[in-house]
């Protein structure tokens, strides 16, 4: 299991694989996408309070939408509602508008990190967002990029639409 106190301690860590992978997100709005993804965390052993976590994600999105590039969004929040870093990757074939006049997002990465884990939060989000933005494995621990690409390939080869590659 992943050592949530140090995301780079175990280089083959489960931390670098999403808790949930959704190959067919049906939502048509940002808020529906967040709700649909969060519903998959119902009963997750590391999620203490779904409503509080969702409220933090929504508050954060209203302050500043988390668009990493035109086709990737990463709604996230630090919250006491989760016990360890939990996250999901979801793919929308049709795309979802995450900004009023922006491009449609095809890959949504939703993240929850315990409030107390400030350093780990910054490290995890920095590495993951760098990988998603650049489509590069440079910032990831060994093996992590390959694992994430396997998840994306599980979305029926749709990684090309997300703009992420294993280079």
pLDDT tens string 90-126: 988 888 988 765 678 888 999 999 999 988 888 888 8
- The gap from C-alpha 77 to its chain's centroid, in whole angstroms, comes to 11
Domains within the chain, CATH numbers bracketed: 14-155 (3.40.930.10)
Position 3 scores a pLDDT of 36
- Give the largest CA-CA distance in the chain: 41
Vertex 158, ends 128 and 35: CA angle to 5°? 65
Position 52 scores a pLDDT of 96
pLDDT at 23 over 70: yes
How many angstroms separate the CA atoms of 118 and 60, rounded?
16
How many angstroms separate the CA atoms of 25 and 91, rounded?
6
pLDDT tens string 142-153: 555 555 666 665
Residue by residue, DSSP assigns 49-113 as -HHHHHHHHHHHHHHS--EEETTEE--EEEETTBSS-EEEEEEEEEEEE-STTSPEEEEEEEEEE
| C-beta separation of 33 from 25 below 8 A | yes
Q: Which two tokens stand for residue 15?
A: 């931390």
* Helix, coil or strand: residue 20: strand
Percentage of the chain modeled with pLDDT above 70: 68
Task: Report residue 59: phi and psi, to 5°.
Answer: -60, -45
pTM metric for this prediction: 0.76
- The gap from C-alpha 90 to its chain's centroid, in whole angstroms, comes to 8
């Amino acid at each position: 299991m992943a050592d949530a106190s140090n995301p780079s301690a175990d280089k083959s860590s489960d931390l670098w694989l999403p808790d949930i992978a959704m190959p067919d997100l049906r939502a048509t709005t940002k808020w529906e996408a967040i709700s649909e993804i969060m519903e998959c965390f119902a009963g997750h052993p590391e999620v203490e309070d779904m409503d509080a976590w969702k409220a933090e994600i929504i508050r954060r999105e209203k302050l500043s939408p988390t668009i990493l590039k035109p086709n990737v969004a990463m709604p996230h929040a630090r919250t006491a509602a989760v016990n360890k870093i939990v996250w999901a990757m979801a793919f929308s074939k049709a795309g979802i508008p995450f900004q009023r006049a922006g491009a449609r997002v095809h890959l949504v990465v939703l993240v929850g990190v315990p409030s107390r884990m400030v350093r780990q939060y910054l490290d995890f989000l920095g590495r993951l967002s760098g990988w998603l933005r650049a489509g590069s494995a440079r910032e990831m621990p060994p093996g992590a990029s390959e694992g994430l690409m396997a998840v994306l390939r599980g979305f029926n080869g749709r990684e090309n639409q997300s703009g992420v590659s294993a280079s």
